[in-house]
Amino acid sequence: MAQPLDDIRAETTDCRLCALSETRTNVVFGVGNPHAEVMFIGEAPGKNEDLGAEPFIGAAGQYLNSLLALAGLKREEIYIANVLKCRPPENRDPRPEEIEACTPYLRAQVRSIAPEILVTLGNFATRFILKTDRGITGLRGQVHITGRFSVLPIFHPAAAIYDRSKEPVMENDFRLLGRLIAQRRRERAERGAQGA
Ligand code: URA
């Protein structure tokens, strides 16, 4: 039986499992629909998220919000979480020991929400979910099946802000996400019709 999200959140509130707890302002647990069909996973909170206690509310978040429309999604219908719940100082990369300490929370969130589609944003989320050492450039834009999930790796929005030549690729990947959602809905409807 999956744990309710609020119970998982309560466990993170005063988390001291790694040294990031000493420098964070807030734990950034995650936000959105607890029964989302699509769950997005980012890397770690940045400065704005650390202050606001919500993922993707800075520049990368504004860009993400604008891309969601290309997939026919609204922010309130998805769920968004990060690999790390606390901000690494100066936005440095997550360290292996931080990922190891923190990801049981993410695993519990994925189990609780039980989305059909996981969108992994950037290398850290993609490597964690697909259990691979391959980089995002070779994995993005294709649907990977792992367990009961369809996983769509996409560049991290911050990477496309930094390198504008990635924008058309981002837009195509969000359109692909829209088609994947439509396909999964059709399959669900067919299964429903057969069962009726
Ligand atoms: N980048 C991330 O990976 N996550 C956030 O919440 C914000 C920026």
Question: pLDDT tens digits, residue range 70-91?
Answer: 999 999 999 999 999 999 999 9
CB of 42 closer than 6 angstroms to any ligand 1 atom:
yes
CB of 125 closer than 6 angstroms to any ligand 1 atom:
no
Fold type of domain 5-195: Uracil-DNA Glycosylase, subunit E (3.40.470)
Strands (E) across 73-178 are located at 79-82, 117-121, 144-146, 149-154
pLDDT in tens, 116-138: 999 999 999 999 999 999 999 99
Do the Cβ atoms of 46 and 82 come closer than 8 Å? no
Do the Cβ atoms of 123 and 83 come closer than 8 Å? no
pLDDT in tens, 52-73: 999 999 999 999 999 999 999 9
Per DSSP bridges, beta strands 79-82 and 31-32 are antiparallel
Q: Using the atom order of ligand 1, give the atom closest to the CA of residue 43.
A: 3
> Other C-beta atoms within 10 Å of 196: how many?
5
Can you name the residues that pair with 95 across neighbouring β-strands? none
Closest CA to 152 of 38, 48, 36, 74: 38
Task: Check whether 1 has a pLDDT greater than 80.
Answer: no
CB of 119 closer than 6 angstroms to any ligand 1 atom:
no
Task: State the Cα–Cα distance between residues 124 and 134, nearest whole angstrom.
Answer: 10
Q: What percent of the chain has pLDDT over 70?
A: 99
Task: Check whether 196 has a pLDDT greater than 70.
Answer: no
In this structure, which residue's CA is closest to atom 7 in ligand 1?
56
Task: State the Cα–Cα distance between residues 13 and 173, nearest whole angstrom.
Answer: 34
Do the Cβ atoms of 149 and 115 come closer than 8 Å? yes
